[in-house]
Structure 1
Amino acid sequence: MESFSFKYPATKSVAGRAHTGVLGSGDLEILLEPTAFNETEFVVRTASDGFQEIWKRVFDRFVALNDISAKIILNDFGATPGVVSLRLSQVLELANQKIN
């Protein structure tokens, strides 16, 4: 089991909290909470050790496309980078639906 975090500067807010995914074999749960800290913080808890560089690349791509101030907690049980990207897109879409 491994835990780590990454922080990126950010300027835009999101409308609300959101949750997507499930924690189970080969899957991923993501919790998103808006913050006022002008940064995006990713907190990862994973059952797979030694993949920090891959996680960082996925997050680098996400923040390049999405400038949001949020704390994003990822509880992982072996998700692939493709699943991580999909879940990040889903949770952001759910958070932004709170505007309506």
Structure 2
Amino acid sequence: MQTISIDYPAAEKLSRPVHVGAVSSGDLEIIMIPLPGGSTATVALRTSVDGFDTIWRRVLDRFFAESALVAHYEINDFGATPGMVSLRLAQALEIAREDPDAGQTTTTGGAR
């Protein structure tokens, strides 16, 4: 088990917690928690696969360069591919930016 911690500058606020995915074979879970008054996106990544630091950093750098929300991101990985990581990050961002009064849920266990 490997843990990676990274901080990214961020300006856009997250208004409510978001949860997507599930920790199971070949998948990952992302939990986003608002950081009121903060100015960073803090990432705590736990992965079952050691030695993929460079790939993780590339995927995260690309995402946070375009889409950083001020939040604490808990990413729990169980062997997801880089494509799945990008999909779950995009899914979390989409949910975070949805109108909470539109009847949408903030939690999903599968693809939307």
Q: Which amino acid aligns with 1:56?
A: R
1:14-67, CA deviations, whole angstroms, 9 ceiling, x for partnerless residues? Answer: 221110101000000110111132001111111000111111111111111113
The 1-side partners of 2:24 and 2:100 are apart by 30
TM-score after normalising by structure 1: 0.93
2:66 is aligned to 65
1:56 counterpart = 2:57? yes
- Two-structure CA RMSD over aligned residues (Å): 1.2
Q: In the alignment, is residue 31 of structure 1 matched against residue 8 of structure 2?
A: no
Unaligned 5+ segments in structure 1 are none
Partner of 1:84: 85
- Give the ranges of 4+ consecutive aligned residues of structure 1 lying more than 6 Å apart after TM superposition: none
8 Å Cα contact 2:8/2:68 also seen in 1: no
Equivalenced residues, count: 100
- Identity of paired residues, percent? 45
Deviations 1:54-93 (A, max 9, x none): 1111111111111311111110000011100100111111
Distance 2:38 2:51 in 1: 29
Residue aligned with 1:69, SS: strand
Which has more radius of gyration? 2
Matched position secondary structure for 1:57: helix
Equivalent residue number for residue 17 of structure 1:
17
Gaps in structure 2 of 5+ consecutive residues: 102-112
